[in-house]
Structure 1
């Protein structure tokens, strides 16, 4: 093949699809998982801090460091294998161990993450999980007995997954040590990669479920504000039909409400968008498990439908309500602005009519003044003409008064004609 220049991102993009493989686990084993999020809703997090925090944990065990700028890591720390992943909003640590504690879900499993190291984490714990993985006992009734001992029956979700390759269970409750619990009972013939996929998906379901519930918390904080703005908006729209209400004042308040709604929308858009994405991931991960009902108990999909889906519908409803209120305020502002423009047009029309009346009055006054000006000009013109015709008194034998009288009428007519001609040329 002839040489060709590769796109600079070709290998990076291709390798990204294989960057985060599922772990390989053999039953029995255990795993601990924690997700840490920085305490803000920023779109991006300080990735350098996350990498430095991981490096601090690796240094305690003399483990090799990840590559600069890495977003994932898999390596051995002591007796555990550590999987680290960096996401947009959070970072996750999963430690796998072949050690089975005498007491299932022993909090001592979490000692792989030292308390002082956790205290120095660049963020806050969103969730932490203890996972207990063992082979299915030959007596299937033993599974039910253990589940009743380990979990709260009222919220327990159990199902057979991946074509009955394993039984997974969890009650999504935080125990007295601050961790959630998941149990996996794998059949002896279930492969190590399949067990790893099950464990990984359980951790993802819990993480994405918790992250999406941040949207629900945001909605609860927004509801009082939305209710108050909705009441104000409804009142202002009612005032629009009242002709006595000043339109300028109403428009000013409507614009203030519109600005406040747009501010809330801008502040919540990222969280609402992230909630929708996380919800889709939760549903996809549950669908990927290919659940089958176990002994008539509720499975993960049913648990989410009853407990989780209503919260997500509340988020979507609040998001739609915020958008609808913003659109309603904009429409009301446009209508009121139209009303203000119409009123201003009427005022302008009245002003123009008043100006027309004043112009007509001014024209009449001007014509009156014009008549007086003819008299005044004629007076001075007759005087000048008198000086011109005074020498004719001797030749004609007429007196000065008679000559002046004879010249007055032509002079006045001439002045009137000149003024009229000048006015017509101007008009």
Structure 2
């Protein structure tokens, strides 16, 4: 009694667990955090092999192949791994060095680390308590791209210039002014997401730039074809249709190749904007916020991707219309040829009918001639009889009878054939 034991709906466990799928790490005071994101070109198999090697090296049980999250102690911090749709992240934290940006000799990403794919994002984030040395840390950033703002109602200040250090890592500074471990963890996770996803979103821009010359070439060729259609569409419809078909195939291939990338860029861009909004930045005099800095640079890139998508769609519609016009010319030409063929067939049928009628007349005469001849042989014995007429007179009188009989027989045969033809035409197959 008192037990809640009911059959569970399919997918309930997954739905409930989704909100806990990406818990942010609790971050202590004065910590340095490294996060590397790799495009997993080899799939989950390669990622699992790398993670298994790291686990064995630390004497930790190897995670299952279907695992999406995994963590294990490493030195004075924790190494955390997470699998995403097209990339995976490796997160490691440790006590911060004495000065901002100082080299750290011991970390998991040394010579023994085998990357599962190509590096897409590398971040070095330091959380430091507010003090005199933090001003020197801010001064180490490039002032031309420095982003500085307060967050969480003045509980923290964040600074970055989105430039990479000697290790190829983007440096970010979080100045702690009284946040809790959970608060620091939430801020760290948002900043890591912003840098990772803004890099992934920008991948669409390089593809858009690569596709732009191809789009221009297809547009120019389509213009030439449509100009040629104005003067010689009827005479060159087949060749023009072949050219348009090639252009349409090239366009569809490019559109298919860019469909996922542009869609992913839009999704990543939306994530970046959500993470920036959740920071609730307060701008500082004379410098930009992270949100303002990225919006000025990411928004044009996303508009470029959108422009290429719209050009692809518009060009596809234009190619379809041009194809329809050319097919109309080809259909008209085919109809003209079919009409000429039918007219030719009608003339042949009439000629065959006349020849048939001529042959029928000749056949009546020929058959009648042979019948009269046979009758003449039968009538010769009449000459030996004492009759008032001879065989020649009988044969002469039989000629019209033979002709009439033959003509009626041929006509009856032709009528029976006509009836059979009409019956075959009206009988459904």
Q: Could you tell me the TM-score, scaled by structure 1's length?
A: 0.88
Q: What is aligned with 2:421?
A: none
Indicate the residue corresponding to 1:55 in structure 2.
Answer: 52
- Residue matched to 1:398: 389
Q: Secondary structure at the match of 1:25?
A: coil
* Aligned-partner Cα distance in 1 for 2:135–2:98: 19
Corresponding position of 1:240: 229
Would you say the 8 A contact 1:239–1:245 is kept in 2?
no
Q: Which of 63, 73, 76 is matched with 1:76 structurally?
A: 73
Is the contact made by 1:173 and 1:181 (CA closer than 8 Å) also made in structure 2?
A: yes
Aligned counterparts, 1:399-418, within 5 A: 399-418=390-409
Q: Secondary structure at the match of 1:362?
A: helix
Gaps of 5+ in 2: 419-429
How far apart in 2 are the matches of 1:399 and 1:100? 146
2:85 to 83, 88, 92: 88
What is the CA distance between 1:198 and its match in structure 2?
Answer: 1.0
C-alpha deviation, 1:54, in angstroms: 2.6
On the 8 A contact 1:156/1:298 being kept in 2, the answer is: yes
1:278 aligns with 2:268: yes
Q: Any idea what SS the aligned residue of 1:396 has?
A: coil
> How far, CA to CA, are the matches of 1:361 and 1:60 in structure 2?
97
Matched, 1:109 2:104: yes
1:114–1:34: structure 2 CA closer, same or farther, 3 Å change rule?
Answer: closer
Distance 1:398 1:67, change over 3 A: closer
Deviations 1:225-276 (A, max 9, x none): 2222222233333333423542222222222222222222222222222112
| 2:128–2:134 contact (8 Å) kept in structure 1 | no
Give the superposition deviation at 1:9: 4.6
CA-CA distance at 1:214 after TM superposition: 1.6
What is the deviation of 1:72? 1.2
Q: CA deviation at 1:16?
A: 3.4
- CA distance in 1 between partners of 2:406 and 2:65 (Å): 102
> Is the 2:204–2:305 contact (alpha carbons within 8 Å) kept by the matching residues of 1?
yes
Equivalent residue pairs, number: 414
Computed over aligned residues only, the root mean square deviation of the Cα atoms, in angstroms, reads 2.5
CA 424–126 in structure 1, closer or farther in 2 if over 3 Å, else same: same
Corresponding position: 1:203 with 2:192? yes
Deviations 1:352-398 (A, max 9, x none): 11100111111112112222112111111111222233333434333
Once the two structures are TM-superposed, the CA of residue 20 in structure 1 deviates from its matched residue by: 2.4
Q: Does the aligned pair in 1 maintain the 2:281–2:289 contact within 8 Å? A: yes
Q: What CA distance in whole angstroms lies between the structure 2 residues aligned with 1:68 and 1:421?
A: 89
TM-score, length basis structure 2:
0.88
Which string of whole-angstrom CA distances, capped at 9 and with x for unpartnered residues, describes residues 262-305 of structure 1?
A: 22222222222211211111111111112222214221221122
> Would the aligned equivalents of 2:164 and 2:170 in 1 still touch at CA under 8 Å?
yes
Q: CA deviation at 1:26?
A: 3.2
2:424 corresponds in structure 1 to: none
| 1:420 paired residue number | 411
1:47, 1:223 → 2: CA distance?
33
Of residues 8, 29, 32, the one that matches 2:31 is: 29
CA–CA distance in 1 between the matches of 2:342 and 2:270? 63
Q: CA deviation at 1:416?
A: 2.4
